[in-house]
Amino acid sequence: MKHLIVVAHPAKDSFTMGLARSYAAELERLGHSQQTYDLYRMGFDPVLPARELWPVDADHPVSTDVAQAQDAIRAADVLTLIYPLWWLSMPAMMKGYIDRVFARGFAYESHDGNVRGLLGGKKAVLITISGAPLPLLVKSGNWNAVQVLQDTHILRAAGFELMEHLHFDQVAPQLAKEIVEQHMARVRSCARQHFPGN
């Protein structure tokens, strides 16, 4: 299968980037092909300009970076998004990727307020990281907010079959090495479980 991994974290040596590398390496080991969109390192521009608000036509062609990003999704069987929860949401970099790339006419169409996803037939995996313990997020209702907004409103609404939302909680800067290793093993296991060898 063809996998597109889109990851947003400013630090190359972060836990989040480590997860993305482990997941990508496991997919390749299983015989899949993968392309990683490392949004910070590629200098992706997350700011949606006015010209992208209009329907695509001769006067408003799709921007080159957006066209390339959309082609990468078209070519993929599976899209995996990886990011830390910042203010319970995604980093602005990832939000800007969604704003620009999941554009009307590509990811969805909308008539009279009814949204129809256009990316049906593709699978998605969502991998998030938080500082807070998951039980606390669940108890406060915050986890429900995360799921409604990110799992359902973005990925499922665009038509993806969400295979798993894998979450790593209580991730802090000085995480013990054994815990980091356990988490890396967990992300590799996620790849094996859903996408056994080609």
Ligand X SMILES: Cc1cc2nc3c(=O)[nH]c(=O)nc-3n(C[C@H](O)[C@H](O)[C@H](O)COP(=O)(O)O)c2cc1C
Q: What is the DSSP string of 133-174?
A: -HHHHHHHTHHHHHIIIIIIIIIITTT-EEEEEEEE-S--TT
Q: Output 75 or 136, the one with its CB closest to ligand X.
A: 136
Q: Cα(170)–Cα(137) distance, rounded to whole angstroms?
A: 11
Supply the minimum distance, in Å, between the C-beta of residue 24 and ligand X: 16
Beta strands 108-111 and 161-168, pairing class? unpaired
CB of 79 to ligand X, least distance (A): 20
- With vertex at residue 94, the alpha carbon angle to CA 140 and CA 5, rounded to the nearest 5 degrees, is 105
Q: Which is nearer to ligand X, 30 or 88 (CB)?
A: 88
Residue number, 10 or 105, with CB nearest to ligand X = 10
The residue length of the chain stands at 198
Q: CB 130 → ligand X: shortest distance, Å?
A: 3
Distances (CA, A) of 9 to 15, 77, 135: 9, 24, 24
> Would you tell me which residues interact with ligand X (CB under 6 A)?
9, 14-16, 84-88, 129-132, 171
84 vs 96, beta carbon nearer ligand X: 84
- Nearest-approach distance from CB 110 to ligand X, in angstroms: 29
